A and B are shown apart, each in its own frame.
Chain A
């Protein structure tokens, strides 16, 4: 964890932005399922017809969002990620995507923010699941300052957006961009850091001759940005994502379809369910996402091409 006590949680940035937007945008609606609902008590008192807490009813929560969209509203839907994406996934597929209506899903909990609660409150497969349904924009902010501009852009649109909030943050001030931002240039390969893993990636690659790309928006995937970076560096790609390992492998393959390349994927491990409590930092290590583990694995990957330093 790199979050400092003085920094504002992404969740609270989300709350403040939504409360302000509800006051000025009369076509904006919020649907919650108890989680975070008390934060919106005042907003609900001012606009009870469009600030709705449905209780612990996540399937209906998504369906109601779809119905609001059909009636011309821009719905924001919010709860813990596993109950937002995994539990009502068929509603996401049918009541949003198949109806061809938009909504903004805002999840907290991320892959494993709330370690003491165990697997039930972890959602490492959320982005991979959304990849099975076309048309989703996926934002994975790594810094709390990225949340507001990403959310405001989503509110202004009419598409389907997933905003994946996390407790873990980095300290880099990077302007929000649609695609990849080049943070460092090198000749041995390209390392892509998505959202909150950036601090560990920067530490792990500090002495490596690699290009480092950063993304707070991972869908749509910036094919052109990756391709340009690889052409300027070397066709060795390392994806470091804070969710299920290999989630963006298919996107890399598409981006580099006619470029012989190697890919190493980092993320939450797929081969087993990690049944351990402890801290988020412990789980970073168990999943190989801490700086030391990344240094070792990325070095080995690049050394196999003789291009590491």
Chain B
């Protein structure tokens, strides 16, 4: 699988030199789409499917690669990356790519969207999950903290926020990101963002009435698949 994903990367960026900034999300995305989320090309219109919202829209090549590997995107489309008329660019566009649930790139938009969808799905009586991926730099945006407070008060137990923490926040997060969630009544777990088993375990915990945060620590953005 690792080589296949790397091959998909190369289709987009043309070489391996740009890998460093593209891989921080790769393992989490793979675990999500391979083992956790109830979503596939066969059920992308099913209201009971799980939703994945890539809020951290920057560097989405890993996302495209996983979507291609799972059949949402024709791998040949990856050759057109960022070209005129291509559906795939530096930021994902839900209107252009089947399976991409939100258009992102402007930071701080995905978690409020996820909270709204989790509210709607709960109002429908559905247990579908909404999983939102953010970056630790993106976590600076105030809109995230508005959404964290609301989700905690509402007890949206089928909402999961994954924060990819590769220490890119300019002012850092003293005492860690998990505490920002815990104080607002979230269950927060910090894991190795390269360790598939740790990720799987954290992402498959039984709901307990609280939204869940998974802080995925990335110490080496260019690291290999665990």
A residues neighboring B (CB under 8 Å) = 29, 31, 47, 49-50, 52, 54-55, 57, 59-60, 62-73, 75, 90-91, 94-95, 98-100
Q: What is the distance, in angstroms, from B160's C-beta to the closest C-beta of chain A?
A: 14
Name the distance in Å between A104's Cβ and chain B's nearest Cβ.
14
Given the interface pairs A54-B150, A70-B101, A99-B103, the reply to whether A60 lies near B115 with Cβ below 8 Å is yes
11 contacts between A and B (CB under 8 A): A49-B119, A50-B119, A55-B150, A57-B149, A59-B108, A59-B112, A59-B143, A60-B147, A72-B124, A90-B106, A98-B103
Given A70-B101, A90-B106, check contact A60 B124 (CB 8 Å): no
B51 shortest CB reach to chain A, Å: 8
Decide if the interface of chain B is mainly helix, strand, loop or mixed: helix
Asked whether B109 is an interface residue with its Cβ less than 8 Å from the other chain, the reply is: yes
Does the CB pair B120–A59 fall under 8 Å? no
A99 and B146 form a contact (CB under 8 A): no
Residue in contact with A54 in the complex, picked from B94, B118, B146, CB distance below 8 Å: B146
Instruction: Give which listed residue, A55, A65, A72, A95, contacts B109 with CB less than 8 A.
Output: A95
Among B51, B102, B143, the residue within 8 A (CB) of A99 is: B102
Given contacts A57-B150, A60-B146, contact A67 B124 (CB under 8 A): no
A55–B120 CB distance below 8 A: no
A72 near B102 (CB under 8 angstroms)?
Answer: no
What's the Cα separation between A52 and B112 when bound, in Å?
Answer: 13
B47 contacts the other chain (Cβ, under 8 Å)?
Answer: yes
Complex Cα distance, B146 from A59, in Å, reads 8
Q: How large is the interface on B (under 10, 10 to 19, 20 to 34, 35 or more residues)?
A: 20 to 34
B122 at the binding interface (Cβ < 8 Å): yes
Q: Taking the complex as formed, is B68 at the interface, i.e. its CB lies under 8 A from any CB of chain A?
A: no
Q: Is the CB of B150 within 8 A of A67?
A: no
Q: Which residue of A lies closest to B121 (CB)?
A: A71
Q: How far is the CA of A63 from the CA of B115 in the complex (A)?
A: 8
Is B117 interfacial (CB 8 A cutoff)?
A: yes
B95 within 8 A of A: yes
The distance from the CB of A42 to the nearest CB of chain B, in whole angstroms, is: 18
Residues of B contacting A71 with CB < 8 Å? 47, 116-117, 119-121, 124
Annotate B43-71 by CB proximity to A: 1 below 8 A, 0 otherwise. 00001000100000000000000000000
Residues on the B chain within 8 Å of A64, using CB: 112-113, 115-116, 119, 147, 150
Shortest Cβ gap from B75 to chain A (Å): 26
Looking at the assembled complex, report how far the CB atom of B209 sits from the nearest CB atom of chain A, in whole angstroms: 15
In the assembled complex, how far is the CB of residue A161 from the closest CB belonging to chain B, in whole angstroms? 17
Is B193's CB within 8 Å of the partner chain A?
A: no
Chain B residues lying within 8 Å of A52, measured Cβ to Cβ, are: 119, 150, 154
Contacts of A69 in B (CB 8 A): 116
A59, A65, A66, A75: most-surrounded residue (chain B CB, <10 A): A59
| Residues on the A chain within 8 Å of B135, using CB | none
Are A95 and B150 in contact, CB atoms less than 8 angstroms apart?
Answer: no
Does B142 interact with chain A (Cβ within 8 Å)?
yes
B116 interface neighbour in A66, A90, A100, Cβ under 8 Å: A66
* Beta-carbon contact of B94 and A99 below 8 Å: yes
Scoring A50, A64, A67, A100 by chain B CB atoms within 10 A of each residue's CB, the highest score goes to A67
Pairwise interchain contact B146-A94, C-beta atoms closer than 8 A: no
On chain A, the residues within 8 Å of B149 by CB distance are 55, 57
* B114 close to A (CB within 8 Å): yes
What residues of chain A lie closer than 8 Å to B130, measured between beta carbons? 67
